[in-house]
Structure 1
Protein backbone atom coordinates (compact mmCIF):
# COMPACT_ATOMS: atom_id res chain seq x y z
CA UNK A 1 0.00 0.00 0.00
CA UNK A 2 1.37 3.38 -1.03
CA UNK A 3 2.01 5.93 1.74
CA UNK A 4 -0.31 8.92 1.79
CA UNK A 5 0.89 12.41 0.94
CA UNK A 6 0.69 13.30 4.62
CA UNK A 7 2.82 10.31 5.62
CA UNK A 8 5.47 11.34 3.10
CA UNK A 9 5.34 14.95 4.27
CA UNK A 10 5.71 13.87 7.89
CA UNK A 11 8.71 11.67 7.03
CA UNK A 12 10.39 14.58 5.29
CA UNK A 13 9.62 17.18 7.93
CA UNK A 14 10.45 15.04 10.95
CA UNK A 15 13.54 13.16 9.72
CA UNK A 16 14.58 14.89 6.49
CA UNK A 17 13.71 11.79 4.42
CA UNK A 18 14.71 12.93 0.91
CA UNK A 19 13.28 9.79 -0.70
CA UNK A 20 9.88 10.56 0.82
CA UNK A 21 10.00 14.03 -0.69
CA UNK A 22 11.07 12.66 -4.11
CA UNK A 23 8.14 10.23 -4.00
CA UNK A 24 5.80 13.10 -3.21
CA UNK A 25 7.12 15.16 -6.12
CA UNK A 26 6.98 12.23 -8.56
CA UNK A 27 3.38 11.55 -7.53
CA UNK A 28 2.23 15.05 -8.51
CA UNK A 29 4.80 16.30 -11.02
CA UNK A 30 2.67 15.61 -14.11
CA UNK A 31 -0.19 17.69 -12.72
CA UNK A 32 2.02 20.60 -11.69
CA UNK A 33 4.17 20.60 -14.82
CA UNK A 34 1.08 20.21 -17.02
CA UNK A 35 -0.44 23.35 -15.55
CA UNK A 36 2.76 25.37 -15.99
CA UNK A 37 3.28 24.10 -19.53
CA UNK A 38 -0.28 24.96 -20.44
CA UNK A 39 0.27 28.51 -19.24
CA UNK A 40 3.66 29.27 -20.85
CA UNK A 41 3.67 26.95 -23.93
CA UNK A 42 7.44 26.48 -23.79
CA UNK A 43 8.95 23.29 -22.39
CA UNK A 44 12.30 24.81 -21.40
CA UNK A 45 10.62 27.69 -19.57
CA UNK A 46 8.14 25.29 -17.96
CA UNK A 47 11.04 23.18 -16.66
CA UNK A 48 12.69 26.29 -15.21
CA UNK A 49 9.44 27.36 -13.52
CA UNK A 50 8.87 23.83 -12.22
CA UNK A 51 12.36 23.88 -10.71
CA UNK A 52 11.74 27.33 -9.26
CA UNK A 53 8.46 26.13 -7.76
CA UNK A 54 10.11 23.29 -5.89
CA UNK A 55 13.00 25.42 -4.74
CA UNK A 56 10.35 27.64 -3.13
CA UNK A 57 8.50 24.59 -1.77
CA UNK A 58 11.63 23.14 -0.16
CA UNK A 59 12.59 26.48 1.37
CA UNK A 60 9.07 27.02 2.75
CA UNK A 61 8.79 23.51 4.15
CA UNK A 62 12.20 23.69 5.78
CA UNK A 63 11.32 27.04 7.29
CA UNK A 64 8.18 25.44 8.73
CA UNK A 65 9.78 22.34 10.28
CA UNK A 66 7.68 21.18 13.20
CA UNK A 67 4.85 23.58 12.44
CA UNK A 68 3.69 22.69 8.93
CA UNK A 69 0.20 24.14 8.51
CA UNK A 70 -1.05 22.72 5.21
CA UNK A 71 -2.10 19.20 6.24
CA UNK A 72 -4.41 17.67 3.69
CA UNK A 73 -3.78 20.56 1.29
CA UNK A 74 -0.20 20.00 0.10
CA UNK A 75 -1.03 19.86 -3.63
CA UNK A 76 -3.24 22.94 -3.41
CA UNK A 77 -0.46 24.75 -1.55
CA UNK A 78 2.17 23.74 -4.12
CA UNK A 79 -0.14 24.76 -6.97
CA UNK A 80 -0.41 28.22 -5.39
CA UNK A 81 3.39 28.48 -5.42
CA UNK A 82 3.52 27.21 -9.02
CA UNK A 83 0.87 29.73 -10.03
CA UNK A 84 2.74 32.59 -8.38
CA UNK A 85 5.98 31.61 -10.12
CA UNK A 86 4.20 31.30 -13.46
CA UNK A 87 2.34 34.61 -13.19
CA UNK A 88 5.53 36.36 -12.10
CA UNK A 89 7.15 35.12 -15.30
CA UNK A 90 4.18 36.03 -17.51
CA UNK A 91 3.93 39.50 -16.04
CA UNK A 92 7.60 40.08 -16.74
CA UNK A 93 6.94 38.98 -20.32
CA UNK A 94 3.90 41.31 -20.46
CA UNK A 95 1.70 38.37 -21.45
CA UNK A 96 -0.56 38.32 -18.39
CA UNK A 97 -3.34 40.66 -17.34
CA UNK A 98 -4.55 40.95 -13.76
CA UNK A 99 -7.46 38.53 -13.33
CA UNK A 100 -7.92 38.74 -9.58
CA UNK A 101 -11.18 40.71 -9.61
CA UNK A 102 -14.64 39.19 -9.29
CA UNK A 103 -16.29 41.18 -12.06
CA UNK A 104 -16.28 38.51 -14.79
CA UNK A 105 -17.69 35.31 -14.86
CA UNK A 106 -6.93 11.16 -12.36
CA UNK A 107 -6.37 11.02 -15.78
CA UNK A 108 -5.27 13.61 -18.30
CA UNK A 109 -8.05 14.82 -20.56
CA UNK A 110 -6.20 13.66 -23.65
CA UNK A 111 -5.90 10.14 -22.29
CA UNK A 112 -9.69 9.86 -22.58
CA UNK A 113 -9.66 10.32 -26.35
CA UNK A 114 -10.57 7.07 -28.05
CA UNK A 115 -10.18 5.80 -31.59
CA UNK A 116 -11.05 2.68 -33.60
CA UNK A 117 -7.88 3.01 -35.68
CA UNK A 118 -4.93 0.55 -35.47
CA UNK A 119 -2.47 1.44 -32.74
CA UNK A 120 0.06 3.51 -34.76
CA UNK A 121 -2.66 5.44 -36.56
CA UNK A 122 -4.56 5.93 -33.32
CA UNK A 123 -1.45 7.38 -31.65
CA UNK A 124 -0.96 9.78 -34.56
CA UNK A 125 -4.63 10.74 -34.44
CA UNK A 126 -4.45 11.46 -30.70
CA UNK A 127 -1.32 13.56 -31.22
CA UNK A 128 -3.11 15.56 -33.91
CA UNK A 129 -6.15 16.01 -31.66
CA UNK A 130 -3.93 17.11 -28.79
CA UNK A 131 -2.18 19.66 -31.00
CA UNK A 132 -5.54 21.05 -32.18
CA UNK A 133 -6.89 21.28 -28.64
CA UNK A 134 -3.73 22.89 -27.27
CA UNK A 135 -3.81 25.47 -30.06
CA UNK A 136 -7.36 26.48 -29.19
CA UNK A 137 -6.77 26.45 -25.42
CA UNK A 138 -4.02 29.02 -26.01
CA UNK A 139 -6.59 31.31 -27.62
CA UNK A 140 -8.76 31.45 -24.49
CA UNK A 141 -8.67 34.51 -22.26
CA UNK A 142 -5.95 34.04 -19.57
CA UNK A 143 -8.41 33.70 -16.67
CA UNK A 144 -10.48 31.13 -18.60
CA UNK A 145 -7.41 29.17 -19.70
CA UNK A 146 -6.09 29.04 -16.16
CA UNK A 147 -9.21 27.62 -14.53
CA UNK A 148 -9.56 25.05 -17.32
CA UNK A 149 -5.93 23.96 -16.89
CA UNK A 150 -6.25 23.79 -13.11
CA UNK A 151 -9.36 21.63 -13.46
CA UNK A 152 -7.77 19.45 -16.14
CA UNK A 153 -4.36 18.93 -14.58
CA UNK A 154 -5.20 18.58 -10.89
CA UNK A 155 -7.75 17.06 -8.56
CA UNK A 156 -8.61 20.47 -7.14
CA UNK A 157 -12.28 21.26 -6.57
CA UNK A 158 -13.80 24.49 -7.86
CA UNK A 159 -13.78 25.79 -4.30
CA UNK A 160 -10.01 25.12 -4.09
CA UNK A 161 -9.47 26.68 -7.53
CA UNK A 162 -11.41 29.75 -6.40
CA UNK A 163 -9.25 30.06 -3.27
CA UNK A 164 -6.08 29.52 -5.29
CA UNK A 165 -6.91 32.21 -7.84
CA UNK A 166 -8.37 34.64 -5.31
CA UNK A 167 -11.92 34.81 -6.70
CA UNK A 168 -15.37 33.67 -5.59
CA UNK A 169 -16.49 30.14 -6.41
CA UNK A 170 -19.17 31.60 -8.71
CA UNK A 171 -16.49 33.47 -10.64
CA UNK A 172 -14.38 30.31 -10.96
CA UNK A 173 -17.41 28.37 -12.20
CA UNK A 174 -18.30 31.21 -14.55
CA UNK A 175 -14.82 31.28 -16.02
CA UNK A 176 -15.00 27.53 -16.57
CA UNK A 177 -18.37 27.82 -18.31
CA UNK A 178 -17.07 30.56 -20.61
CA UNK A 179 -13.89 28.56 -21.31
CA UNK A 180 -15.92 25.51 -22.31
CA UNK A 181 -18.36 27.55 -24.37
CA UNK A 182 -15.57 29.32 -26.23
CA UNK A 183 -13.55 26.13 -26.68
CA UNK A 184 -16.55 24.26 -28.08
CA UNK A 185 -17.21 27.16 -30.45
CA UNK A 186 -13.65 27.15 -31.73
CA UNK A 187 -13.67 23.39 -32.21
CA UNK A 188 -17.01 23.48 -34.02
CA UNK A 189 -15.65 26.17 -36.33
CA UNK A 190 -13.00 23.71 -37.54
CA UNK A 191 -15.41 20.76 -37.56
CA UNK A 192 -13.68 18.89 -34.73
CA UNK A 193 -16.82 17.07 -33.61
CA UNK A 194 -15.01 14.22 -31.86
CA UNK A 195 -13.07 16.69 -29.75
CA UNK A 196 -16.22 18.66 -28.94
CA UNK A 197 -17.79 15.49 -27.52
CA UNK A 198 -14.67 14.71 -25.51
CA UNK A 199 -14.58 18.23 -24.08
CA UNK A 200 -18.21 17.86 -22.99
CA UNK A 201 -17.49 14.50 -21.34
CA UNK A 202 -14.28 15.53 -19.57
CA UNK A 203 -15.35 18.94 -18.31
CA UNK A 204 -19.06 18.39 -17.65
CA UNK A 205 -20.19 20.60 -14.78
Structure 2
Protein backbone atom coordinates (compact mmCIF):
# COMPACT_ATOMS: atom_id res chain seq x y z
CA UNK A 1 0.00 0.00 0.00
CA UNK A 2 1.31 3.39 -0.96
CA UNK A 3 1.08 5.84 1.91
CA UNK A 4 2.14 8.70 -0.38
CA UNK A 5 -1.06 8.12 -2.36
CA UNK A 6 -3.01 8.45 0.90
CA UNK A 7 -1.48 11.86 1.53
CA UNK A 8 -2.45 13.01 -1.95
CA UNK A 9 -6.01 11.75 -1.51
CA UNK A 10 -6.30 13.45 1.89
CA UNK A 11 -5.06 16.75 0.44
CA UNK A 12 -7.45 16.43 -2.47
CA UNK A 13 -10.38 15.74 -0.11
CA UNK A 14 -9.45 18.71 2.09
CA UNK A 15 -9.44 20.83 -1.09
CA UNK A 16 -13.05 19.86 -1.75
CA UNK A 17 -12.82 16.64 -3.80
CA UNK A 18 -15.42 14.42 -2.09
CA UNK A 19 -14.49 11.47 -4.34
CA UNK A 20 -11.02 11.34 -2.78
CA UNK A 21 -12.49 10.25 0.56
CA UNK A 22 -14.55 7.58 -1.19
CA UNK A 23 -11.34 6.23 -2.74
CA UNK A 24 -9.69 6.04 0.70
CA UNK A 25 -12.75 4.32 2.19
CA UNK A 26 -12.79 1.73 -0.60
CA UNK A 27 -9.04 1.18 -0.24
CA UNK A 28 -9.24 0.28 3.45
CA UNK A 29 -12.84 -0.77 3.99
CA UNK A 30 -12.06 -4.49 4.09
CA UNK A 31 -9.38 -4.20 6.77
CA UNK A 32 -11.29 -1.77 8.97
CA UNK A 33 -14.59 -3.63 8.62
CA UNK A 34 -12.93 -6.99 9.42
CA UNK A 35 -11.19 -5.51 12.46
CA UNK A 36 -14.46 -4.15 13.89
CA UNK A 37 -16.38 -7.33 13.11
CA UNK A 38 -13.73 -9.47 14.82
CA UNK A 39 -14.52 -7.58 18.04
CA UNK A 40 -18.33 -7.21 17.96
CA UNK A 41 -19.35 -10.25 15.88
CA UNK A 42 -22.48 -8.46 14.62
CA UNK A 43 -22.83 -7.11 11.08
CA UNK A 44 -25.31 -4.30 11.91
CA UNK A 45 -23.16 -3.08 14.80
CA UNK A 46 -20.05 -3.36 12.62
CA UNK A 47 -21.68 -1.24 9.91
CA UNK A 48 -22.68 1.41 12.46
CA UNK A 49 -19.21 1.58 14.02
CA UNK A 50 -17.66 1.70 10.54
CA UNK A 51 -19.92 4.63 9.57
CA UNK A 52 -19.19 6.42 12.86
CA UNK A 53 -15.46 5.92 12.28
CA UNK A 54 -15.67 7.81 9.01
CA UNK A 55 -17.89 10.48 10.54
CA UNK A 56 -14.97 11.21 12.88
CA UNK A 57 -12.51 11.02 10.00
CA UNK A 58 -14.58 13.56 8.02
CA UNK A 59 -14.91 15.96 10.97
CA UNK A 60 -11.19 15.78 11.67
CA UNK A 61 -10.07 16.18 8.06
CA UNK A 62 -12.51 19.00 7.32
CA UNK A 63 -11.61 20.69 10.60
CA UNK A 64 -7.94 20.71 9.56
CA UNK A 65 -6.99 18.73 12.68
CA UNK A 66 -5.34 15.79 10.92
CA UNK A 67 -1.53 15.72 10.99
CA UNK A 68 -0.43 13.67 8.02
CA UNK A 69 2.57 11.55 8.90
CA UNK A 70 1.91 8.81 6.35
CA UNK A 71 -0.09 6.92 8.95
CA UNK A 72 -3.68 7.27 7.74
CA UNK A 73 -4.64 3.61 8.20
CA UNK A 74 -3.25 3.25 11.77
CA UNK A 75 -5.03 6.50 12.69
CA UNK A 76 -8.37 5.27 11.30
CA UNK A 77 -7.88 1.88 12.98
CA UNK A 78 -7.34 3.65 16.32
CA UNK A 79 -10.60 5.58 15.85
CA UNK A 80 -12.41 2.32 15.02
CA UNK A 81 -10.83 0.66 18.06
CA UNK A 82 -11.93 3.50 20.38
CA UNK A 83 -15.48 3.48 19.00
CA UNK A 84 -15.63 -0.29 19.49
CA UNK A 85 -14.63 0.16 23.13
CA UNK A 86 -17.31 2.88 23.45
CA UNK A 87 -19.85 0.40 22.07
CA UNK A 88 -18.97 -2.16 24.73
CA UNK A 89 -18.99 0.49 27.45
CA UNK A 90 -22.43 1.73 26.43
CA UNK A 91 -23.83 -1.77 26.16
CA UNK A 92 -22.06 -2.98 29.31
CA UNK A 93 -21.05 -6.21 27.68
CA UNK A 94 -17.79 -7.70 26.54
CA UNK A 95 -16.56 -10.28 24.08
CA UNK A 96 -16.48 -13.78 25.53
CA UNK A 97 -13.55 -15.86 24.34
CA UNK A 98 -14.33 -19.57 24.23
CA UNK A 99 -11.72 -22.31 23.89
CA UNK A 100 -13.38 -23.36 20.64
CA UNK A 101 -13.26 -19.86 19.11
CA UNK A 102 -10.44 -18.54 16.98
CA UNK A 103 -8.24 -16.44 19.22
CA UNK A 104 -7.20 -13.17 17.64
CA UNK A 105 -3.85 -11.66 18.55
CA UNK A 106 -5.53 -8.27 18.18
CA UNK A 107 -7.63 -9.03 21.26
CA UNK A 108 -6.16 -7.59 24.43
CA UNK A 109 -8.03 -7.84 27.72
CA UNK A 110 -6.24 -4.70 28.93
CA UNK A 111 -8.02 -2.73 26.20
CA UNK A 112 -11.27 -3.32 28.05
CA UNK A 113 -10.22 -2.97 31.67
CA UNK A 114 -11.29 0.34 33.06
CA UNK A 115 -13.46 1.37 30.12
CA UNK A 116 -16.38 1.69 32.52
CA UNK A 117 -14.56 4.45 34.39
CA UNK A 118 -15.38 7.92 33.22
CA UNK A 119 -14.23 10.78 35.36
CA UNK A 120 -16.66 13.56 36.19
CA UNK A 121 -14.55 16.14 34.35
CA UNK A 122 -14.81 14.14 31.12
CA UNK A 123 -18.58 13.84 31.60
CA UNK A 124 -18.94 17.61 32.09
CA UNK A 125 -16.92 18.28 28.92
CA UNK A 126 -18.98 15.75 26.93
CA UNK A 127 -22.23 17.27 28.24
CA UNK A 128 -21.09 20.75 27.16
CA UNK A 129 -20.08 19.48 23.72
CA UNK A 130 -23.49 17.75 23.39
CA UNK A 131 -25.24 20.99 24.34
CA UNK A 132 -23.20 23.04 21.84
CA UNK A 133 -23.70 20.44 19.11
CA UNK A 134 -27.48 20.41 19.61
CA UNK A 135 -27.56 24.18 19.03
CA UNK A 136 -25.58 23.81 15.80
CA UNK A 137 -27.70 20.88 14.59
CA UNK A 138 -30.85 23.03 14.83
CA UNK A 139 -29.52 25.06 11.89
CA UNK A 140 -29.67 22.02 9.55
CA UNK A 141 -32.56 21.19 7.16
CA UNK A 142 -35.26 19.12 8.92
CA UNK A 143 -34.59 15.79 7.18
CA UNK A 144 -30.83 16.01 7.81
CA UNK A 145 -31.30 17.16 11.39
CA UNK A 146 -33.63 14.26 12.10
CA UNK A 147 -31.13 11.63 10.90
CA UNK A 148 -28.25 13.27 12.77
CA UNK A 149 -30.22 13.50 16.03
CA UNK A 150 -31.41 9.89 15.79
CA UNK A 151 -27.84 8.68 15.16
CA UNK A 152 -25.88 10.84 17.59
CA UNK A 153 -28.29 11.59 20.42
CA UNK A 154 -30.52 8.49 20.35
CA UNK A 155 -27.78 6.09 19.19
CA UNK A 156 -30.02 4.36 16.64
CA UNK A 157 -28.47 2.19 13.93
CA UNK A 158 -28.87 3.31 10.32
CA UNK A 159 -31.27 0.42 9.82
CA UNK A 160 -33.40 1.68 12.72
CA UNK A 161 -33.19 5.26 11.41
CA UNK A 162 -34.39 4.10 7.98
CA UNK A 163 -37.37 2.35 9.59
CA UNK A 164 -38.12 5.29 11.90
CA UNK A 165 -38.05 7.85 9.07
CA UNK A 166 -39.63 5.53 6.47
CA UNK A 167 -36.76 5.80 3.98
CA UNK A 168 -34.14 3.39 2.61
CA UNK A 169 -30.83 2.85 4.43
CA UNK A 170 -29.03 4.53 1.51
CA UNK A 171 -31.25 7.60 1.85
CA UNK A 172 -30.56 7.72 5.59
CA UNK A 173 -26.81 7.45 4.94
CA UNK A 174 -27.03 10.14 2.26
CA UNK A 175 -28.87 12.50 4.59
CA UNK A 176 -26.25 11.86 7.26
CA UNK A 177 -23.48 12.67 4.78
CA UNK A 178 -25.11 15.95 3.72
CA UNK A 179 -25.88 16.76 7.36
CA UNK A 180 -22.16 16.46 8.14
CA UNK A 181 -21.18 18.58 5.14
CA UNK A 182 -23.68 21.28 6.16
CA UNK A 183 -22.70 21.00 9.82
CA UNK A 184 -19.10 21.66 8.79
CA UNK A 185 -20.26 24.81 6.98
CA UNK A 186 -22.16 25.95 10.09
CA UNK A 187 -19.04 25.31 12.21
CA UNK A 188 -16.84 27.26 9.78
CA UNK A 189 -19.33 30.14 9.54
CA UNK A 190 -19.41 30.42 13.33
CA UNK A 191 -15.59 30.12 13.61
CA UNK A 192 -15.92 27.16 15.97
CA UNK A 193 -12.84 25.00 16.55
CA UNK A 194 -13.52 21.33 17.12
CA UNK A 195 -10.96 18.96 18.53
CA UNK A 196 -11.64 15.35 17.61
CA UNK A 197 -9.49 12.62 19.15
Structure 1 length-normalised TM? 0.46
Structure 2 length-normalised TM? 0.47
Structure index of larger Rg: 1
